[in-house]
């Protein structure tokens, strides 16, 4: 199944609240015929846009290709949370890689947040960036772990922008009866993800990147001068960057065996009144919780609740996305059981076995970064900068990320989907049973 076209209309953004509240760029042309470049970047999400922008600023001639529109995939559909750290917690990384590399990964993650904020400021990207992410816990053991982790970040990494919250303190922010404690990270943030992606595309275009949309890449020929073949053209270049994430398809089996595409869903309610806002979020911060099938939510700049969550197995989106999301939203906020939902949409992201991104040199002149596992706003942006630096000969950051173990999914690219479905069904059942 080709996920590029399974759930969406070619060349059109989904009917999301994001797409409805963003000034779109005029369409870029489709690639037709022969093109040459120093670097060809495949995929115009955060990774590809950031890679292209940073390379162009270094003087490289860059061609950027996307099968749909810039920011069409997960970059333009996600929850908009700019989180701290890596997707795996630091104590887990310490056990996996040792304290020295864990410290380097923490520093890279802090660089990712700083880079995202700097790009927004430098290019005047109007994406409603605001500070703060709260983490909500549902069970006493999770609260204990969360508070210990806050202490660990403060003591081991000197991170003082996060604080532990008891039940009453969390309810002053998020008055859901489900949550019994957690934390608040004011060094993290949230933003309008599609507006951010389009802002990066505008900056890349201004920097001289040649962007082609509606250009489906279906084959790559490696070699000293690799060739990227599209439906109606091809690009001969010195370097290729694969920035496809969940939409990689069969372009590279090595990446496909390690990065699994899954779907996730978000709904936007009607605008809430001031009184209603006090029953949902009393501070304008984002929230994520401890469920395996995670709930994540925040307020929009027009006072809607943007709520992400829900389960769906298989690559096709469900026919009633709003109904899928309404169920977990009602568990968190029972009083919103009948609230009007104005928008509901799905998206495809890439996950890995370790929930850490997969950075790889697939050949001396072919690099790939993907598999952000729901932590991609800052990490994917930073990945683009690290890829650009690696192409320019400064590969320390890229190589640090590439050292993270990246096991293949059982069955590689063939049988990974049914096995993942079984695993996620089990974890979802544990969520429902509270075990």
Q: What sign results for the dihedral spanned by CA atoms 328, 333, 337, 341?
A: negative
Number of helical H runs and strand E runs in the chain: 14, 17
**pLDDT score of 170 more than 60:** yes
Residue 56 tokens read as: 């162009």
What is the C-alpha to C-alpha distance for residues 310 and 18, in angstroms, rounded to an integer?
19
pLDDT (0 to 100) of residue 414: 54
Residue 75 tokens read as: 């970059």
Mean pLDDT calculated for residue range 164-172: 98
**pLDDT score of 350 more than 70:** yes
What is the C-alpha to C-alpha distance for residues 147 and 137, in angstroms, rounded to an integer?
10
Using alpha carbons, select from 43, 165, 187 the residue that is nearest to residue 106: 187
Using alpha carbons, select from 401, 376, 374 the residue that is nearest to residue 387: 401
Q: How many CB atoms lie within 10 A of CB 1?
A: 11
Residues in the chain: 435
pLDDT (0 to 100) of residue 83: 98
pLDDT classification of 377: cutoffs 50, 70, 90: very high
84-88, 145-149, 165-169, 412-416 — which is least confidently predicted?
412-416
pLDDT digits (tens, 9 = 90+) for 238-285: 999 999 999 998 899 999 999 988 899 999 999 999 999 999 999 999
43-57, 149-163, 174-188, 414-428 — which is least confidently predicted?
414-428
Element (H, E) at 132: strand 130-136
% of the chain surpassing 90 pLDDT: 88
**pLDDT score of 418 more than 90:** no
What is the C-alpha to C-alpha distance for residues 212 and 220, in angstroms, rounded to an integer?
17
What is the C-alpha to C-alpha distance for residues 170 and 157, in angstroms, rounded to an integer?
24
Q: Is 407 helix (H, G, I), strand (E, B) or coil?
A: coil
- Report CA-CA distances (Å) from 406 to 245, 356, 387, 409: 15, 8, 18, 9
Mean pLDDT calculated for residue range 179-191: 98
pTM higher than the cut 0.75: yes
**pLDDT score of 416 more than 70:** no
What is the C-alpha to C-alpha distance for residues 251 and 75, in angstroms, rounded to an integer?
20
What is the C-alpha to C-alpha distance for residues 289 and 179, in angstroms, rounded to an integer?
8
Q: Is 351 helix (H, G, I), strand (E, B) or coil?
A: strand
pLDDT (0 to 100) of residue 409: 85
Q: How many CB atoms lie within 10 A of CB 58?
A: 14
């Amino acid at each position: 199944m080709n996920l590029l076209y399974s759930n969406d209309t070619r060349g059109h953004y989904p009917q999301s609240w994001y797409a409805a509240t963003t000034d779109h760029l005029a369409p870029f042309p489709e690639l037709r015929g022969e093109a040459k470049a120093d670097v060809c970047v495949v995929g115009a999400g955060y990774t590809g846009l950031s890679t292209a922008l940073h390379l162009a600023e270094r003087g490289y001639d860059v061609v950027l290709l996307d099968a749909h529109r810039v920011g069409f995939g997960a970059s333009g559909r996600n929850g908009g949370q700019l989180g701290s750290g890596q997707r795996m917690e630091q104590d887990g990384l310490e056990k996996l890689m040792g304290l020295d590399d864990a410290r380097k990964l923490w520093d890279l993650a802090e660089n990712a947040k700083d880079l995202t904020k700097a790009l927004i400021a430098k290019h005047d990207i109007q994406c409603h960036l605001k500070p703060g992410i709260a983490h909500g816990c549902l069970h006493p053991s999770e609260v204990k772990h969360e508070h210990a982790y806050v202490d660990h970040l403060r003591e081991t990494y000197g991170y003082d922008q996060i604080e532990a919250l008891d039940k009453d303190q969390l309810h002053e922010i998020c008055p859901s009866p489900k949550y019994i404690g957690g934390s608040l990270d004011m060094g993290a943030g949230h933003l309008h993800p599609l507006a951010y992606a389009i802002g990066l595309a505008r900056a890349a275009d201004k920097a001289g990147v040649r962007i082609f949309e509606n250009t489906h890449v279906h084959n790559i020929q490696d070699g000293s001068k690799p060739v990227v073949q599209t439906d109606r053209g091809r690009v001969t270049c010195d370097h290729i960057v694969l920035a496809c994430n969940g939409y990689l398809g069969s372009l590279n089996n090595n990446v496909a065996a390690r990065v699994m595409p899954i779907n996730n869903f978000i709904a936007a309610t009607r605008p809430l009144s001031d009184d209603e806002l006090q029953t949902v979020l009393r501070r304008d911060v984002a929230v994520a919780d401890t469920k395996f099938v995670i709930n994540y939510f925040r307020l929009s700049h027009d006072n809607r609740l943007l709520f992400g969550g829900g389960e769906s197995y298989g690559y096709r989106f469900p026919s009633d996305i709003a109904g899928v999301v309404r169920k977990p939203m009602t568990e968190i906020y029972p009083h919103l059981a009948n609230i009007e939902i104005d928008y509901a949409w799905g998206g495809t992201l890439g996950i890995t076995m370790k929930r850490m991104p997969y950075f790889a040199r697939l050949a001396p002149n072919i690099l790939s970064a993907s598999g952000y596992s729901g932590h991609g706003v800052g990490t994917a942006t930073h990945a683009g900068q690290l890829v650009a630096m690696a192409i320019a000969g400064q590969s320390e950051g890229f190589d640090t990320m590439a050292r993270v173990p990246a096991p293949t999914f059982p069955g590689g690219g063939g049988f990974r989907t049914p096995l993942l479905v079984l695993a996620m069904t089990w974890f979802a059942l544990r969520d429902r049973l509270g075990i």
